[in-house]
Structure 1
Amino acid sequence: MNIYAMRAIYRFEMARTGRTLMQSIIAPVISTSLYFVVFGSAIGSRIKEVEGISYGAFIVPGLIMLSLLSQSIANASFGIYFPRFTGTIYELLSAPVSYLEIVVSYVGAAATKSILLGLIILATAALFVPLQIMHPFWMVLFLVLTAVTFSLLGFIIGIWADNFEKLQLVPLLIVTPLTFLGGSFYSVNMLPPFWRGVTLFNPIVYLVSGFRWSFFELGDVDVRLSLGMTLLFLAVFLVIVGWIFRTGYRLKS
């Protein structure tokens, strides 16, 4: 394995975060803080508790997951799309670097940035409400798995997109609405039986539920099911990435 090449790509992608600190870190933290103030204060004044948890604390895992999903996709998709846009992708493909090393470098950098952002948001949220993490290991596990999984999705989008508008298509029209409807700001158990059944077809429900369980031992679905669904999404995206490199889809033309 070409460690030097992987380290070079990884460092280059991480250095981009420093050059775009406002866009990469500060803006998402401010946006999440505004979500927290609006939902936590305005709605929290009317909804004191959700299943025994104060509403302000209850929405923290959902807010972290919302930022984690969107930033993982954005970081990975732009990271691989920009070399395609400038034409430098061909230099990378002709270099003595395997497809696995390319994926690990780009996805690893995107996931690292998203995890750091998630931890910063967690620390910021702790300034607003008292938080407890009952299962730190599971919290870190869900954080890492989700970041890697959706960085893979972002990598796929970056390969598929042929313009900057398409980079935003899936996150804005699919992922963000599903996150809002996936129990980020409420418990799925609060819904009528019919709509609760419909909501369970939303894959984001399982991610948010598992992550929230690690905080409060409270989830909309069993934590084992949440973990299984997360691993399933990871496997599906790995298969798609493997197919892309095997066929050269949007890379060799």
Structure 2
Amino acid sequence: MSAPALPARPSSLAARLRWTAADGLTLVGRELGRLRQEPGELIAALIFPAVMVVLFGYVFGSAITVPGGGNYREYLMPGLFVMVSFTSVMAVTMRVATDASRGVMDRFRAMPMARSAVPFGQAGADLLNGVLALVIMAATGLVVGWRAHRGLWPTAEAFLLLVLLRHALSWAGCFLGLVVRNEQTADQFVPLVFPVTMLSNSFVPTGGMPGWLRAVADWNPVSAATAACRQLFGNPGAPAAHTDLAWPLAHPVAATLLWSIALTAVFAPLSVRTFHRRGR
């Protein structure tokens, strides 16, 4: 018996986009269904933000003075929001590497589906997880005294900026997972994300760092995103006007948007290309 013929690849751009979106949403559903079957992973992902708020807020808060005064937990929360967004790299890398090592990716390549749908599905599923994590962290922050002071629209802009950044980082995680292709190796890369988030203005001011280290911290995308959230939330530590700051800190919203666009523009095509080439 001959094998059934696979559907022809759509010829028009609009048809290809619909095909990719439909297959990608199917894979988003697959990831969410997997979390229902393994609830421990979801529970751990949701507990982590709350633990970070309590741990850093009360341990660091007793020892650090906020520049210009203010509540340290209000200073801290924007940095924790960004830190949780950066966990996207770790989470997606692990999931993609696990699927690749178990042969799931090979089965996807054998199916009549859009090649970009698999990375799209991984990024989409992580985006939903990220939104839920931000909600949990915001609720915990409100309990410990954090507030957004500039009103509804700036607050919404800050959270949209965090979602955009997380989505961009999920593409980077997808690419790394496809390159590594081994869950044990990917697990060794996970701790490398923490120095990136710590070498920033998330938890402590950068003014006391040595000059060369401060320059690295000021140009870190984590610092730009944290400064943008502090500015939009109206929290302590927001960059002041007419001060001598590195460009990303003087224009943190624009810098975060540029980082998000650049990461997506680089890693989205790389993820699709790597997924396609691994099947040859």
Fold shared per TM-score above 0.5 = yes
Given candidates 191, 203, 227, the residue that maps to 1:185 is: 203
The aligned counterpart of 1:225 is 255
* Offset from partner CA, 1:55-104 (integer Å, 9 cap, x none): 0111112112212211x123322333333222232221122211222222
The aligned counterpart of 1:75 is 91
**1:185 partner SS:** coil
Relative to structure 1, is the Cα distance of residues 50 and 192 closer, same or farther in structure 2, using a 3 angstrom cutoff? Answer: same
Q: Distance in 2 between matches of 1:177 and 1:149?
A: 19
The aligned counterpart of 2:56 is 39
Q: Which runs of 5+ in 1 are unaligned?
A: none
The code of the aligned residue for 1:94 comes to A
The code of the aligned residue for 2:251 comes to D
Q: Distance in 1 between matches of 2:135 and 2:149?
A: 13
Q: Distance in 1 between matches of 2:68 and 2:41?
A: 36
* 1:198 paired to 2:203: no
The code of the aligned residue for 2:184 comes to E
**CA shift for structure 1 position 147:** 1.4
* Offset from partner CA, 1:131-181 (integer Å, 9 cap, x none): 1153123212212211111111111121011322221233312x2111011
Q: Distance in 2 between matches of 1:45 and 1:15?
A: 42
Q: Distance in 1 between matches of 2:230 and 2:189?
A: 24
Q: Distance in 2 between matches of 1:153 and 1:207?
A: 17
Percent of counterpart pairs with the same letter? 21
**2:231 partner SS:** helix
Query: Could you tell which deviates more after superposition, 39-48 or 50-59?
Result: 39-48
TM-score by length of 2: 0.77
1:132–1:215: 8 Å Cα contact kept in structure 2? yes
**2:147 partner SS:** coil
1:61–1:211: 8 Å Cα contact kept in structure 2? yes
The alignment yields a C-alpha RMSD, in angstroms, of 2.5
Q: Which runs of 5+ in 2 are unaligned?
A: 1-17, 240-248
Relative to structure 1, is the Cα distance of residues 33 and 50 closer, same or farther in structure 2, using a 3 angstrom cutoff? Answer: farther
The aligned counterpart of 2:76 is 59
* Offset from partner CA, 1:30-71 (integer Å, 9 cap, x none): 44434333332233234353434310111112112212211x
**CA shift for structure 1 position 192:** 5.3
**CA shift for structure 1 position 128:** 0.8
Given candidates 91, 108, 120, the residue that maps to 2:136 is: 120
The aligned counterpart of 1:172 is 191
TM-score by length of 1: 0.85
Given candidates 66, 76, 86, the residue that maps to 2:102 is: 86
Number of residue pairs matched by the alignment = 247
Q: Distance in 2 between matches of 1:62 and 1:8?
A: 33
Q: Distance in 2 between matches of 1:201 and 1:170?
A: 22
2:201–2:218: 8 Å Cα contact kept in structure 1? no
